């Protein structure tokens, strides 16, 4: 295992595989709804804005209306990291708000609004289904008319045979007076409204009741502890260098660092934020384990801390197998002998 140290000040000049230094390309403010100490985005337009223009990724945590009993594909809201919320507020890219009704039981007014929205959606679907059915009837009217004509002729032929005892030579087509318009009217009269249990569940791209909620400005105290301050300082430092960052808890770190959009790229570094006192206390076993996890997932393990001057200091660790190095040396010696 090999360690590489580098001290980085807040002048944002270098970092782990730093891409071009990019800030948010737009100054549009987004509303971050605070609930139980977490920041959420309820508008898909704000989500898209954060992804594309601000390099804020977050994590979708909402269930899908038609598939609520699964966790592979999730929807709104988007939950942001605490560091992302603080950075949005400090950079003037967003504001934290609280919706009073989200912390209380739904009022009767909200219930009525929800019921009206569901009923309106159902009526719109009934009308649209009827329009589509009428268009389908008009397209099939000629075939339906031809089928009715054939059935009429067969019935008339059978009736004449029963009455006269023999097949009638005369034509009965003149007795068939049904027209295309008559067919359309008959079929439209048979149309039944769409059953309510078959209506399509509308997937909103914005919380439909936000306009009905009471918005209050909400203070955002993060960071409050020394550990949180270190994490936030490291997050800001990497973000200002142009990196994308997500939670690294699945890999034993605080952040995963991406050179590009996480929806298109794999992370290349696992960053764990520690204090200088923790570095001096050792923890070699834990360090070896974390480095091996990073190596097995083709990532670099990075320890980030703050020095006495408040500058961000990075230490990257790489895993090397001595056996493999010895084998390579033996192979080189054999090649030289040959």
Q: How many residues does the chain have?
A: 338
Phi, psi dihedrals of residue 219, rounded to the nearest 5°: -70, 150
Catalytic residue among 244, 258, 314, 317: 258
Instruction: Tally DSSP H helices, then E strands, for the chain.
Output: 8, 12
Among all chains, which residue has been given the structure tokens 């268009």? 135
Strand partners, 312: 8, 306
Please tell me whether residue 233 adopts helix, strand or coil conformation: helix
| C-alpha span between 290 and 300 (Å, rounded) | 10
**Quick one: residue 106, left, alpha or beta (phi over 0 = left, psi -120 to 50 = alpha)?**
beta
Whether 266 is catalytic: yes
Distances in Å between the alpha carbon of 178 and those of 50, 182, 189, 223? Answer: 62, 6, 16, 80
Asked if 197 is an active-site residue, the reply is no
Under DSSP, is residue 68 helix (H, G, I), strand (E, B) or coil?
A: coil
Catalytic residue chosen out of the listed positions 151, 250, 266, 318? 266
Exactly one of 299, 314, 317, 318 is catalytic; name it. Answer: 299
| Residues designated as active site | 258, 266, 299
């Amino acid at each position: 295992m090999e360690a590489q140290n580098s001290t980085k000040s807040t002048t944002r000049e270098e970092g782990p595989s730093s891409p071009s230094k990019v800030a948010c390309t737009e100054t549009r403010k987004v509303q971050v709804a605070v609930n139980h100490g977490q920041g959420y985005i309820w508008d898909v337009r704000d989500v898209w804005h954060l992804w594309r223009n601000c390099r804020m990724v977050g994590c979708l945590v909402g269930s899908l209306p038609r598939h609520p009993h699964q966790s592979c594909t999730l929807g709104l809201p988007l939950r942001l990291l605490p560091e992302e919320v603080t950075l949005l507020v400090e950079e003037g890219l967003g504001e934290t708000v609280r919706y009073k009704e989200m912390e209380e039981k739904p009022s009767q007014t909200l219930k009525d609004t929800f019921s009206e929205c569901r009923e309106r959606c159902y009526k719109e679907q009934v009308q649209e289904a009827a329009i589509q059915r009428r268009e389908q009837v008009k397209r099939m009217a000629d075939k339906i008319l031809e089928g009715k004509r054939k059935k009429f002729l067969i019935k008339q032929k059978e009736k004449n045979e029963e009455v006269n005892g023999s097949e009638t030579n005369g034509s009965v087509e003149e007795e068939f007076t049904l027209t295309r318009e008559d067919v359309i009217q008959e079929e439209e009269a048979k149309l039944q409204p769409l059953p309510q249990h078959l209506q399509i569940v509308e997937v909103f791209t914005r919380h439909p009741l936000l306009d009905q909620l009471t918005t209050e400005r909400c203070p955002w105290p993060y960071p409050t502890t020394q550990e949180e301050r270190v994490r936030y300082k490291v997050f800001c430092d990497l973000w200002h260098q142009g990196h994308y960052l997500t939670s690294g808890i699945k890999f034993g770190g605080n952040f995963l660092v991406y050179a590009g959009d996480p929806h298109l790229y794999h992370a290349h570094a696992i960053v764990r934020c520690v204090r200088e006192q923790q570095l001096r206390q050792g923890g070699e076993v834990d360090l070896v384990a974390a480095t091996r996890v990073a190596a097995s997932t083709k990532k670099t393990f990075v320890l980030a801390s703050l020095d006495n001057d408040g500058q961000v200091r990075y230490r990257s660790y790489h895993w090397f197998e001595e056996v493999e190095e010895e084998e390579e040396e033996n192979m080189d010696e054999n090649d030289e002998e040959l």
